[in-house]
Chain A
Amino acid sequence: NAGVTQTPKFQVLKTGQSMTLQCAQDMNHEYMSWYRQDPGMGLRLIHYSVGAGITDQGEVPNGYNVSRSTTEDFPLRLLSAAPSQTSVYFCASSYQRRNYGYTFGSGTRLTVV
């Protein structure tokens, strides 16, 4: 089925470990983005990309890295995990960053101990 696929669904990390959250879409969307969702904080934008080779920072980029080598994939890297990065992470894609609805992946629930 067409959509946004995120892996893994759950992950537990130790403080200081690094990992990559995967996001892939098969809708030929140019725009992709990563959000984190914490209780009472809504959806906060981490990084986004308007096309292959182009990325930009969102509201809360510190501690995270992204790259976009293909239209389909937009991985999110945690460089050195901290307990403050415990959250639910959503990847979203769209034809465009502003004027089209976003399709969200099912999320990755990350716990850093």
Chain B
Amino acid sequence: GQQVMQIPQYQHVQEGEDFTTYCNSSTTLSNIQWYKQRPGGHPVFLIQLVKSGEVKKQKRLTFQFGEAKKNSSLHITATQTTDVGTYFCAGPDSGNTPLVFGKGTRLSVIA
């Protein structure tokens, strides 16, 4: 079945530095979703990308969907301590199964 791979697994940054996490799929995705999970919390839906090459922004967060619809990225500009958490990408398998989640990138921000 489809696999969704995320890199890096961990990232430590100084507050104010930028951060990027990447998501790669073994198959073409009809859409890609991103979630954030704060420490001790539950995953929260951030955004869904559908179109090839799509770019969406939410304040300091920029989400991109690759032209081939096999990869995606999340970029955070000038990280803040409130950005701490694990970021997951998820996409539907080629069959009719539910979303497949990547293992996540854990971000820690050093003040």
Contact = CB atoms under 8 A, between A and B. Distances in A.
Interface of A: 31, 33, 35, 40-43, 45, 48, 58, 90, 92, 97-107
Interface stretch (B15-23, B64-72, B100-108): B100-108
30 contacts: A31-B98, A40-B103, A41-B103, A42-B88, A42-B103, A42-B104, A43-B43, A45-B98, A48-B98, A58-B98, A90-B42, A97-B92, A97-B96, A97-B97, A97-B99, A98-B92, A98-B96, A98-B98, A98-B99, A99-B48, A101-B33, A101-B45, A101-B48, A102-B33, A102-B35, A102-B45, A102-B99, A103-B45, A104-B42, A107-B42
A42 B92 contact: no
Interface of B: 30-31, 33, 35, 41-45, 48, 88, 90, 92, 96-99, 101-104
B92 A90 contact: no
B98 A104 contact: no
Nearest to A102: B45
A43 B30 contact: no
Contacts of A100: 48
Contacts of B33: 101-102
Contacts of B97: 97-98
B43 A99 contact: no
A48 B90 CA distance: 16
Nearest to A43: B101
A90 B35 CA distance: 14
Nearest to B93: A98
Contacts of B43: 43, 90, 92, 102, 104
Contacts of A43: 43, 88, 101
A109 to B, nearest CB: 9
A33 B98 contact: yes
- Best-buried of B30, B43, B88, B99 by chain A (most CB within 10 Å): B99
A37 B98 CA distance: 16
